[in-house]
Structure 1
Amino acid sequence: MISSTAVVTGAASGIGRSLAIALATMGYHLHLTDRDPDGLSSTRTAIEAAGTGQILSLRTVDITDQHAVVSWADALVAEYGVPDEVYHVAGIAIWGDARTMPHDKWTRVIDVNLMGSVHIVEGFAQHLTVDNPTRKTKRRKLVFVSSAAGIIGLPWHAAYSASKGGVLGMCEVLRFDLAPRGVDVHVVAPGAVDTPLVSTIDIDGVDQTNKRVLTAKKLFQGHAQSPEQVAASIIRGVRKNKYLIFTSRDIALARWAQVNAPFAYRGAMKLLNRGFRWVAAGAQLN
């Protein structure tokens, strides 16, 4: 069993919950946070029922509040010491036509996904780094969950992709900036994942009770991985010290095609876009 400490954000549901439970099963001591206190309590109950690992702290934090995030990180370190690993999973999904997407939805998804990630850096990076680490120094881990949408051109994902692509770009810099100071940075690019976000996702201007939309969601869920599978892929990728962690082969293939077979990639994206337009046709809200 591992006796390391880890922070997990977004631990109330979906990937964050599954990741927290998986780490607890491995014997981790955990600090869990989310904006949903009831969901956090449910995760704690599941971990305690398993009888493995240990929850050191449970805290409701809004990751869009920079002061709250930094204060929480400082207090956590002051009371429990520097965590070995930080997994930032919390995020939201908002899709829509870029021509009509309301400004407040652009800012909301960027505030949560991108600026929330920035706040995690501001809160933890200074604590995780070590001056002049040696070969014997235990390397710490800083892990961010981005998305396949941060890499490939999925239809109606402009705002969401801006937020997740920003996380990828930030991590690309941090991996080199923090490596000499004893911190390994990892970024995860999940594809389709069957989380509660599937039923609560905001698709701007689209009636989600429409039959075509419901059919598309069923197809998505049939193709999607479970949060438990994604959590296992994240842990495996971090253990293998992979920087960019794909949790499904289709996204790894899409990334390869984007670089090495651009004609095939462009054709696939055109088909996806056409399919999305078909789904949205007749489901537009007035």
Structure 2
Amino acid sequence: MSYEGQAWWITGASSGIGAALATELGARGARVILSGRDEARLAGIAGDIPTDTLVLPFDVRDDAAMLAATTQAVDWATANSGGLDGFVANAGVSQRSRATKTDMQVYRDIIDIDLTAQIAASQALLPHMTARGSGKLLFISSIAGKVGVPMRTAYSAAKFGLAGYADALRGELSIDGVDVHVIYPGSVATNVSRNALSADGTKRGRSDEVIDNGIPADDAAKTMLDAVSNGDREIIVAQGMEEAMGEMRRTPDQLFDQVAGMVAAGYMDKMEADS
């Protein structure tokens, strides 16, 4: 699959994996819509992309702003590329705190940002993509969304939930021409641990050695987009023990195919008829 001439929208595009994906998509010829809260940083990244870009700053927790951005993104993509070809649900925040010490508000905040807001943005785009009969949805989960990791109970809960939503959605959309990919990064060299929430909800403010020595974000982005081009539905981007952990919990392709077969055979229609 070629990205040339396509239009892609990325949330959390002001740094880390989101910024790297935006840059790599531009290098592969795609037009890119960049969203996040920091307009100046988004504009700086957009300035380094050789293709057409649109900067749409907003907070993913602001439903009204998200819906307005969705309209702008779809209109811009339609005018320039015939429609939105891909959406990357990447915005998120991590955690570094023991469950026994963590305020409940931290759980609410992380699940709101990493799960609920990503579902809301995806749901807003579904009518456009299903009407076109094409498109790709990429959900950035985590190895912590495959294996529960200590000090990340809220983060694991959100990332497991995001993968569950995406897997169920994939089955539903399998008859509509829209592809769903879930990406499980391990340690990637970003500010994820520096920006992680502590037990009281404040930013941790320091990084982890394993993150600092992780996969360069640019390399991770290349691997992700290559796997999407290859049609991989579950994409593990990790190394060493993290890669082994992810592979141990990998979902067999046969199971994805079985779910798609249920939908093709009328499973959803029967469920609706019986309700």
Q: Structure 2 length as normaliser, TM-score? A: 0.81
2:52 to 51, 54, 59: 54
User: SS at 2:101's partner residue?
Assistant: coil
Unmatched runs of 5 consecutive residues or more in structure 1: 134-138, 261-286
Match of 1:156 in 2: 151
Where does 1:125-274 land on structure 2 (aligned, <5 Å)?
125-130=126-131, 139-204=134-199, 217-222=208-213, 224-250=214-240, 251-258=242-249
Misfit runs of 4+, over 6 Å? 205-209
Work out which of the two has the higher radius of gyration on C-alpha atoms and give 1 or 2.
1
AA in 2 matched with 1:34? G
Distance 1:73 1:169, change over 3 A: same
* Identity score, percent: 25
The whole-number CA distance in structure 1 between the counterparts of 2:44 and 2:223 is 23
Unmatched runs of 5 consecutive residues or more in structure 2: 252-275
**Aligned residues: CA RMSD:** 2.3
1:26 to 19, 25, 28: 28
AA in 2 matched with 1:119? A
AA in 1 matched with 2:110? V
The whole-number CA distance in structure 2 between the counterparts of 1:254 and 1:147 is 11
Deviation at residue 198 of structure 1 after TM alignment: 2.9
Q: Structure 1 length as normaliser, TM-score? A: 0.78
The whole-number CA distance in structure 1 between the counterparts of 2:8 and 2:91 is 15
Deviation at residue 258 of structure 1 after TM alignment: 5.0
User: SS at 1:68's partner residue?
Assistant: helix
Deviation at residue 158 of structure 1 after TM alignment: 0.7
AA in 2 matched with 1:61? F
Match of 1:274 in 2: none
Where does 1:92-111 land on structure 2 (aligned, <5 Å)?
92-111=93-112
Match of 1:85 in 2: 86
Distance 1:207 1:231, change over 3 A: closer
Deviation at residue 208 of structure 1 after TM alignment: 6.2
